[in-house]
Amino acid sequence: QAKLKNEKALLEEEYSEALQLSKEVEAQIQKEQARLAEIARQQALNKNNATTSGNTPAVSAGTWTTPTTGRLTSPFGWRNIGYGSEFHYGIDIANKTGTPIVAAADGVVSYASALSTYGNVIMVTHSIDGQIWTTVYAHLSGFSVGVGQSVSKGQVIGSMGSTGRSTGPHLHFEMHTGTWAGARKNAVNPLRYISL
């Protein structure tokens, strides 16, 4: 009887451990499924944002193409912003939220996340005839690409929004010779390379 009692206690302990392990595994599986479902939801949302509103711009011949459709609301250079003047290191192109944003040239996504007053921003690094360039696409409402991804000229990379320091939906677009090292470094007037 004592032997059977010990065996019964041992079996009950093993059964309890198996139940505990099963609950832990089940919780891990549920957590991973929730994570994957959120990724799928974000991808679907970004895809819808990038493709349902507005038209993609026509891809122009040559190295560079216009990154979105809309009207120029603020050029490169000095501007008055209501409480003083500041130098604008890019151009602003306004349209409705969700308007597709495309890569201005072939390259690799070097940044895709929120960044200070830029809001949601994508940076693409390009190597053109041995020269490194960086293009910046700011105030986005959504991303269609991730860091390290190769993109082609005219490929949809995100959608227009009004994140960061912004007064309405628009694309803030910068071009830099070399790598991006802050807005003030290496910035050139994009209108020398693209046409609106």
Residue 99's pLDDT is what? Answer: 96
pLDDT in tens, the chain (196 residues): 888 888 777 777 666 665 555 566 556 655 765 666 566 556 555 555 544 445 789 899 999 999 999 999 999 988 887 667 888 999 999 999 999 999 999 999 999 999 989 999 999 999 988 899 999 999 999 999 999 999 999 999 999 999 999 989 999 999 999 988 776 779 999 999 998 8
CA–CA gap between residue 137 and residue 171 (Å, rounded): 6
Residue 64's pLDDT is what? Answer: 97
Residue 32's pLDDT is what? Answer: 64
Residue reference for tokens 């993109």: 151
Q: By the 8 A CB rule, do 184 and 56 touch?
A: no
Cα 175 versus chain centre, distance: 17
Inter-CA distances, 122 with 3, 81, 172, Å:
70, 24, 11
Q: What is the pTM of this model?
A: 0.72
Q: By the 8 A CB rule, do 87 and 37 touch?
A: no
For the chain, what is the total number of helices (H) and then of strands (E)? 1, 12
> Which residues, including other chains, have CB under 8 Å from residue 131's CB and lie 6 or more apart?
177
Residue 52's pLDDT is what? Answer: 42
